[in-house]
Structure 1
Amino acid sequence: MDQARSTISKIFNGEPHSYTRFNLTQNMEGDNSQVEMKLSSDVEDEAGGNGVGEHLNHNSNRKPHVAQMFGRTPKNLCFMAAATLLIFIIGYLIGYLAHRKKDSFPSSAASVLPAEAPCVFERGAAPLMDWDDVKKLLAQKLGNFDSVFSDFTKDSHQAGSPGDEELGNKVLKKFKDYGMNTWTDEHFVKIQDPPASGSNRFVFKNEKEQRPSGFLSYSANGTATGAVVYGYYGEESDFTLLQGRSVNLTGKVMLVRAGRISFAEKVANAARRKASAVLIYPDPSDYPFGDNTKLFGHVHLGSGDPYTPGFPSFNHTQFPPVQSSGLPTILAQTITAGMATHILSKLGGQSSPDPWGSYNKLGDESDVITVEVNNVLKEKKINNVFGVIKGFVDADRYVVIGAQRDAWGPGFAASTVGTSVLVELARSISDMVKNDGFKPRRSIVFASWSAGEYGNIGATEWLEGYLPSLSRKAFAYINLDGVVSGQSGFKVAASPLMHSLIESTLKEVMSPNTDVSLFSQYAKGSWEANVLEPMKLDNAAYPFLAFSGIPSLSFRFTASGNTDYQFFGTVLDTRDKLYSITSNQAPQLAVTAARFAGNIVLRLVHDHLLRMDTAKYSKIIRAQVAQINVKVRNVQRMQPQLLPKSLTVQWLMSASGSYNRATRSLAEDIQNSDLHDPTTARFYNLRIMKVEYYFLSQYVSVVETPFRHVIHGRGDHTLSALTEHLALLTSDPERFDETRFRRQLALFTWTLQGAANALNGDVWSIHNTHTYTR
């Protein structure tokens, strides 16, 4: 009878519904910018249900297949009756034969299946391969990277250039050769380049005009004249120290070293002190290259195309004439070490602090310099390149792994190594699926980004273009930029949700040319203290985490002392330089980096339950909320005039408690559930993968405040901004603003409470049983 019902179903319903689908729908006129990625039915209601079959398309307005074939004439009705009778007879015969066949089998399965080998099966579309076998397969597939590096080494591949396009096509061809579904994502972005004719320049003390050939994209244009002030690294603390010495920074031209923080942060710090321009140079004590080496970079304090903040730069998209608040309002320019040394040798004024180096003076009013910047804003077409390995159970859920493809010069460490690791992982995992029986439960999307050097433009524009879909479908991002820049240290920046997975992976992957794990080699007693680092704004994983609410991870082998790779942003970032820095171990380090990233990706698509620790955020939040509570109580007790007792953090503490209870409840529910059932696993995975998204503040504008994450974002809505403002009560009480503090408290409290409510599940699972006291 089952076979008969199947036959009837095929006749009346046509093709059976598929569990998932993957469509690449392009503009019929050939516009690649309108590529649409669908890993499942777009009509799936995320909040309504997570069962395996709940997202199938049932369209009540569509006529049944039979009604389209037959009219309601007597002849057709007779034909339908005869067909139905025939099908019934066939079904009866099939059922009778099946019953006879069944009767001929032994009545007990025990007579044909030995007791010591019970039948174990996977209740899903993909058999679960043993995790140890998965790890071994990946390790066997990854080979030497020397030849792979050669495939993607190019002297010139700046974003939007023919070299960038050539490399993109090469990556795309590789993905196709591996049998992957591929597509491209086209954007038209505004990029600022140095002047095509003429140059940027400066004149110091009426001396000979200097024309530096390095530049900083997205600087303000124009001319500024002012006295030079030496500002060390241009950090906030450096400018505070200068002002503490009564050095007036208004209208000054700040001369600062490269390093420690991004170019954009240096310029933003100077602009807040009302400086007129910033000159950035590589100090010889930090950068072991000649006096004439040029520096390249950007000064947009943000991510993506700064002229379409919050909007994707598709050519068919209409957006208002706005620009990012992160664009600087002052001039910025890089100069060589030789130019800076000459200026510093002639400065007068106060002596510089001892930690600031061998230079004796900070500068005075007679050290006048004129700076002129004439950068040109251009619109360029860039292409992101994608390939996907589709999952066998939850194909509409995917992890994204990506690498930057462009560079200012050769960019060997900046982009070549990461692109090589990306392509090798795509080849290895595709081969595992094709030839070794590995069937990932979820999908893996491989992404090659363009315009990374200008502020992660390619990746950010993709996020902006597909944010509604990505926030529901993508559950993690792994960044491969700069994964090999040394060999002495190992650093990871990641969402707290991924910390437990990182720890276990560090213990699984062996350190290059040793018989010990990465954990034993680099953890040194406390892996969190020695391996983890904050995720910075210029990290390509940052917009995934802080803008999109997608758990993200970035890692790197570092040089001695965990310093940054000195050749980033220069034309000296070559294969020879990286091989020299790593004692010719770059290929072996790339293999280890590929295994580390590959193990994390495969674990995320292999297990029934996503390997993410929702309780980690609870620990972090509880610790910081407790500190805020102690601080407020101490001030109210010791200095009641600064904070009235009516200002309470009880609601914040209650929200923290609600989130903690929600994570415990989720863990208990998971513990008591059968995760081998695909419907159950999918239900819990949906709740887990949305945790990061819940921390995006719903009370600020994505256009004005794109990094809405209250823990990792930037802005008044964040927990760090709240604690920094509260610290003013003791350091600078006059700058404390009670109204602003109350607003910050409300923004964070209700975002946290909303996250707790969402994590609880359905609205009827949320119980308002808290007692609020003052």
Structure 2
Amino acid sequence: MFFKVAISSLITIATSIYFLYYLPPFPHKPYYHSLFTSDSLSDNESISNHLYTLTRRPHIAGSEANAEAAAYVLSTLSSYSIQSHIASYHTALTYPESRSLVLTRPSPDPPVRFSLEQEIYEGDPYAEPASQVEPTFHAYAKSGTAVGPVVFANYGRVEDYAVLKQMGVNISGSVVLARYGKIYRGDIVENAYAAGAIGVLIFTDRKDYGGGGAAEEKWFPDGKWMPPSGVQVGSVYGGAGDPTTPGWPSSEGCERISDEEVEKSGDVPLIPSLPISWADGDVIIRTVGGEVGIGDDWQGGKDSPVYRVGPGPGVVNLTYKGKQVISKIDNVVGIIEGAEEPDRFVILGNHRDAWTFGAVDPNSGTACLLEVAERMYKLQKKGWKPRRTIVFCNWDAEEYGLIGSTEWVEENRNMLGSKVVAYLNVDVAVGGPGFEASATPQLDGLLVHVAKLVTDPDNSSQTVYDSWVSSTNNPKMGRLGGGGSDYAAFVQHIGVPSADLSFGGGYPVYHSMYDDFTWMKKFGDPMFQRHVAVASLWGLVALKLADDELLPFNYHSYALELQKSAEELKDRALNKVVTLVPLLKSISEFEKAATKINDEREALIESKGWKSMWKDGHKIRELNDRLMMAERAFTDREGLSGRSWYKHLIYAPSKHDDYGSKSFPGIDDAIEKAKSINTTESWRSVQHEIWRVARVITQASLCLVGKLT
């Protein structure tokens, strides 16, 4: 018996050695990758059904309906044999208790009391559940009353207030009327407060969201544009994660800072605000006198009145009262464990919570997430196993301030920091035609490669890549410095290579009651082919990152991006005491390091072959670790000055626009301050920030090279 067992064991070992030594590991994986996008695996009807189910009721974070949506995602992932669970947190969310808006007009016109309601149209299939929609409000808005003359501040940007100052317009004691677009709504409120306003009204101007007033443009349900009563709600919180637990997870019974400390953080508004419709905004702006706004940028669309800046004579009385509640939120997490490197994670993330029905934002992405999971389940049934672990994350409370993803990252910071290969985000999967992508630069080449493998959903004779570059010679790649979605905690807090994918970009009924399944079915993606394309792109990027023996990262793209950003700094009229030499030198060294690791990678792929790659498995693992960890080196434990949660010194939001992406944000902040006060010390601060960035770039270079100094 002993000899039979021994011989059997020897045969097993010999067979294993043969397959490991003489055959490529998992030679079938390219086949499975090509199968992933085939018609036999993709299912636009299934995507449509998921979206319909997820959007039958409004499901704001903290609501029963959103908990039911989480249960649906959990059960769907579990039905695909994906090990799934819910990671819950108890977070401080706000809801409206009461609000009112009254306009006092010059005599003899009577006052106007606005209903502040979004109208249900005739034949609306969602008329009954629409009663469950929260009254229009701004999350984390300051409770209070503001009574004052109206000043029109265009889009509420810093440069708009500079124009008003040049015109001699007194903002102090006024209520600002600004329109959505250009910058984050929270920064509109913050900029108004800094200028001396006591309250803010933000309206969705017909010029931007209602078709511009063109006769041929119709609003929903007859066209895609925002109806007159449509209101874009949203958060005005300027931070990331639960405001009461800055830097640590919001577990039940955890430590929380006081309301006074939250206010001192500078992340919540200090004056009340309300979102209003373009119909209400039109009534108000007709009561504003004073000088005419300068240029077309300050005017409305066709049939709009002349936009004047005020102040008054129209006076508004704005009252808002909100309540803060510690609410339970649910992230859904599903895991397909890797067969060879289970301790390396590729994470796909999308949020689930919506201000109302959320057909576009975010549940087009949720439906695509479930489609990717189903296709991978079908691949597993055919024999595929990922090399590395694939994690599906469906976030909660993103709309309030990226809360679900931030709390999860803060709780799992050390494990994620050492094990995550990349994070792949899809928020709005489909808002219309046209592929858009943003990424940390080492993923540029991979996104281009995958875009060439997926058919354009709007033109089957070409690929997504072909349509992507149709207007330019190169694909337009965005960066991930803005705070607009759940990639923020991964890139800006812990330094994980990341990407964000979508079709269509902005859409007119954004964050309104009209973002429902009917709008998607009629205007966003009637045949759900764009959803299919997003799932194909998202899944293929994940498969390449999970299965490729050598990670498909190229840091040459990063070096070029750093050089470009440094060149832009030269045009910022820097003070003579400031030098860019340390930064330029560090970028030069980084480019050399990128070349070196690319050469190492190519040598392993082309020169040694699979037989030697198996022998040199430890070299592959070590090289992959350097590729994975280099992004971490761009972070600094102190974070940005005055914004310590943001650790990444290359990409973070602009200080005056959370949606805006800034390269070298610390340098940018310091330059703006120095230009304002123009002291020797302020320009020294600019130089200090240049040195800080140079040091993290040097650290990234050392990480890529992989040798001690």
TM-score higher than 0.5 here? yes
- Secondary structure at the aligned position of 2:93 is classed as strand
Residue 170 of structure 1: which of 56, 68, 72 is its match?
72
The answer to whether structure 1 residue 668 and structure 2 residue 599 are counterparts is: yes
Pick closer, same or farther for the CA change 1:337–1:461 going to 2, 3 Å: same
What amino acid is the match of 2:597? L
In structure 2, the residue matched to 1:296 is: 233
How far the C-alpha of 1:662 sits from its partner, in A, is 2.2
Pick closer, same or farther for the CA change 1:124–1:360 going to 2, 3 Å: same
How far the C-alpha of 1:659 sits from its partner, in A, is 1.9
How far the C-alpha of 1:756 sits from its partner, in A, is 2.3
Q: Which structure 2 residues correspond to residues 56-135 of structure 1 after superposition, within 5 A?
A: 121=20, 127-135=26-34
Paired residues, number? 641
Query: CA deviation digits over 1:302-343, x for unaligned, max 9?
Result: 222122121111114335444353222222211222221111
Q: For structure 1, which segment, 423-432 or 225-234, has the greater mean C-alpha deviation from structure 2 after superposition?
A: 225-234
Q: Which structure 2 residues correspond to residues 125-524 of structure 1 after superposition, within 5 A?
A: 127-139=26-38, 140-144=40-44, 145-195=47-97, 198-205=98-105, 207-210=111-114, 212=116, 213-287=135-209, 288-321=225-258, 322-323=261-262, 324-355=265-296, 356-357=298-299, 358=304, 359-364=306-311, 366-433=313-380, 435-487=381-433, 489-512=434-457, 513-524=459-470
Partners of 2:529 and 2:602 in 1: CA distance: 40
- Secondary structure at the aligned position of 1:556 is classed as strand
The answer to whether structure 1 residue 617 and structure 2 residue 521 are counterparts is: no
- Secondary structure at the aligned position of 1:672 is classed as helix
- Secondary structure at the aligned position of 2:530 is classed as helix
Residue 643 of structure 1: which of 576, 584, 587 is its match?
576
How far the C-alpha of 1:395 sits from its partner, in A, is 0.7
- Secondary structure at the aligned position of 1:745 is classed as helix
How far the C-alpha of 1:557 sits from its partner, in A, is 1.2
- Secondary structure at the aligned position of 1:516 is classed as strand
What amino acid is the match of 1:289? M
How far the C-alpha of 1:609 sits from its partner, in A, is 1.0
Pick closer, same or farther for the CA change 1:122–1:224 going to 2, 3 Å: farther
What amino acid is the match of 2:345? Y
What amino acid is the match of 1:226? G
What amino acid is the match of 1:377? Q
- Secondary structure at the aligned position of 1:346 is classed as coil
In structure 2, the residue matched to 1:47 is: none
Residues 480 and 491 in structure 2, CA contact (< 8 A), matched pair in contact too: no
Residues 643 and 738 in structure 1, CA contact (< 8 A), matched pair in contact too: no
* Greater RCO, 1 or 2 (C-alpha within 8 Å, sep 6+): 2
How far the C-alpha of 1:534 sits from its partner, in A, is 5.7
Q: Which structure 2 residues correspond to residues 543-582 of structure 1 after superposition, within 5 A?
A: 543-558=489-504, 564-582=506-524
TM-score normalised by the chain length of structure 1: 0.77
TM-score normalised by the chain length of structure 2: 0.83
Residues 519 and 527 in structure 1, CA contact (< 8 A), matched pair in contact too: no
- Secondary structure at the aligned position of 1:399 is classed as strand
Partners of 2:599 and 2:89 in 1: CA distance: 45
How far the C-alpha of 1:730 sits from its partner, in A, is 8.4
In structure 1, the residue matched to 2:584 is: 653
Residues 234 and 270 in structure 1, CA contact (< 8 A), matched pair in contact too: yes
How far the C-alpha of 1:607 sits from its partner, in A, is 0.6
Residues 440 and 480 in structure 2, CA contact (< 8 A), matched pair in contact too: no
In structure 1, the residue matched to 2:130 is: none
How far the C-alpha of 1:584 sits from its partner, in A, is 1.7
In structure 1, the residue matched to 2:683 is: 738
How far the C-alpha of 1:291 sits from its partner, in A, is 2.7
Partners of 1:393 and 1:528 in 2: CA distance: 36
Residues 726 and 736 in structure 1, CA contact (< 8 A), matched pair in contact too: no
- Secondary structure at the aligned position of 1:199 is classed as strand
Q: For structure 1, which segment, 360-369 or 199-208, has the greater mean C-alpha deviation from structure 2 after superposition?
A: 199-208
Query: CA deviation digits over 1:134-188, x for unaligned, max 9?
Result: 2224423111233333333322211121111111111111222211211210100
Pick closer, same or farther for the CA change 1:348–1:627 going to 2, 3 Å: closer
Residue 526 of structure 1: which of 472, 496, 501 is its match?
472
In structure 2, the residue matched to 1:56 is: none
How far the C-alpha of 1:605 sits from its partner, in A, is 0.8
Residues 347 and 390 in structure 2, CA contact (< 8 A), matched pair in contact too: yes
Residues 368 and 531 in structure 2, CA contact (< 8 A), matched pair in contact too: yes
What amino acid is the match of 1:565? Y
What amino acid is the match of 1:446? F
In structure 2, stretches of 5+ residues that fail to align are: 117-134, 210-224, 605-611, 656-661
Pick closer, same or farther for the CA change 1:130–1:182 going to 2, 3 Å: closer
Residues 715 and 721 in structure 1, CA contact (< 8 A), matched pair in contact too: no
Residues 198 and 271 in structure 2, CA contact (< 8 A), matched pair in contact too: yes
Partners of 1:624 and 1:258 in 2: CA distance: 28
How far the C-alpha of 1:734 sits from its partner, in A, is 7.0
Partners of 1:340 and 1:386 in 2: CA distance: 42
Residue 686 of structure 1: which of 589, 613, 625 is its match?
625
How far the C-alpha of 1:573 sits from its partner, in A, is 0.7
What amino acid is the match of 2:243? P
- Secondary structure at the aligned position of 1:374 is classed as strand
What amino acid is the match of 1:698? R
Pick closer, same or farther for the CA change 1:694–1:346 going to 2, 3 Å: same
Residues 215 and 296 in structure 1, CA contact (< 8 A), matched pair in contact too: yes
Residues 389 and 444 in structure 1, CA contact (< 8 A), matched pair in contact too: yes
In structure 2, the residue matched to 1:77 is: none
Partners of 2:568 and 2:184 in 1: CA distance: 29
Partners of 1:371 and 1:738 in 2: CA distance: 41
- Compute the RMSD of aligned alpha carbons: 3.1
In structure 2, the residue matched to 1:51 is: none
In structure 1, stretches of 5+ residues that fail to align are: 1-89, 103-108, 110-117, 636-641, 767-774
Partners of 1:461 and 1:298 in 2: CA distance: 17
Pick closer, same or farther for the CA change 1:734–1:371 going to 2, 3 Å: farther
Residues 483 and 652 in structure 2, CA contact (< 8 A), matched pair in contact too: no
Q: For structure 1, which segment, 692-701 or 451-460, has the greater mean C-alpha deviation from structure 2 after superposition?
A: 692-701
Partners of 1:96 and 1:426 in 2: CA distance: 42
- Name the larger-Rg structure: 1
Pick closer, same or farther for the CA change 1:177–1:344 going to 2, 3 Å: same
How far the C-alpha of 1:509 sits from its partner, in A, is 0.6
In structure 2, the residue matched to 1:39 is: none
Residues 154 and 163 in structure 1, CA contact (< 8 A), matched pair in contact too: no
What amino acid is the match of 1:544? F
Query: CA deviation digits over 1:684-733, x for unaligned, max 9?
Result: 11111112211112233799421221121147896144257558888995
Partners of 1:311 and 1:157 in 2: CA distance: 26
What amino acid is the match of 1:515? S
Residues 446 and 553 in structure 2, CA contact (< 8 A), matched pair in contact too: yes
